Structure formats: structure tokens, C-alpha cells
Amino acid sequence: MDRKIRVLVAKVGLDGHDRGAKVVARFLRDAGFEVIYTGLHRTPQEVAMAAVQEDVDVVGISLHSGAHMTLVPKVMKYIEEYGGDLSEMVIIVGGIVPEDDIQKLKEMGVDEVFIPGTPIEKIVDFIREKVPEKKGLKEKAEA
């Protein structure tokens, strides 16, 4: 890619626990990504609009409220409604997500779920690998 990978880190809903999101945002910035942090208590519409307006490559949604099965699909729906292309956007979820819900989120189109304790390097490596893959740049670079 000829520009930095752009990552939106979002806190959706009434969840007020943002320490993890801020720590991840700082590590991603230090890893060379351009990071946009939405702040607390954003609606799915606000997060989706920010993702589309900022032309981000990655949307990272941090949740500790247990509302991931409701809020994540809404964010994704609004991204598409606002003109975003989910086929080229990496969607990741972090926070407290029960193991049974991880596969359900992936079936909805979430690319990966990172639970507390995941090494930051794993998140960084995933983003570096997945963004070019979703944008079709991996095949072009290898051709």
C-alpha cells in the first residue's frame, strides 16, 4: 500500500470501559498505523459514518457491554448504507465476547475477534496481512 493503513477504533453503545480500546489504539499507532479513535458512547450510525468519511481500512469495535450481537451487525449495516464497501474493509471486534458468539460474529462478516489477553503483535500482524488481502493487493503484488 502506498499510504498508512487507517484504523478506526470505536466504542459503541453505553459501554464506558475504554482503557483497552485506548491501549490498543496507542499500540496500533506506534506500529505505524493511522488511528482514529471515536471516543465513548457512539451510536452504530456515528461509527459507520466516521468509517466511511475517514475512508478507513479497518474498523475495530471494542465492547464490554455484552451487546456485540446487536451493535456489531448494525455498524456493518450502516457502513454499507453510507456507501462503505465491507468487502474491502476489515472488521475486527475486541473485548468481552463469549466463545460461543465468536463464530456467530464471523458468520456475520466480522474478520476476527480478539479477546482480553491477546498479544498486541497478533492484532498488528492480522491487520497487516488482512488489509492487503481484502483490497486485492496481495494478488497484485505477487503477480
The pLDDT of 8-12, averaged and rounded, is: 96
> Which pTM value belongs to this model?
0.92
* pLDDT value of residue 138: 53
Q: Looking at residue 65, what is its pLDDT?
A: 83
Q: Residue 14: pLDDT band by 50, 70, 90 thresholds?
A: confident
- What's the confidence (pLDDT) of residue 142? 40
Question: DSSP readout, the chain?
Answer: --SPPEEEEEEBTT----HHHHHHHHHHHHTT-EEEE--SSB-HHHHHHHHHHTT-SEEEEEE-SS-HHHHHHHHHHHHHHTT--TTSSEEEEEE---HHHHHHHHHTT--EEE-TT--HHHHHHHHHHHHHHHTTHHHHHH-
Q: What is the pLDDT of residues 94-140, one digit of tens each?
A: 999 999 999 999 999 999 999 999 999 999 999 999 999 998 865 44
pLDDT confidence tier of residue 141, bands split at 50, 70 and 90: very low
Distance CA(73)–CA(138), nearest Å, equals 27
Question: pLDDT per residue over 33-81, tens digit each?
Answer: 999 999 999 999 999 999 999 999 999 999 988 899 999 999 999 999 9
Domains of the chain, by residue range, sit at 6-142
What mean pLDDT value characterizes the chain? 93
Q: Regarding the domain delimited by 6-142, which CATH topology (the fold level of the hierarchy) does it fall under?
A: Rossmann fold (3.40.50)
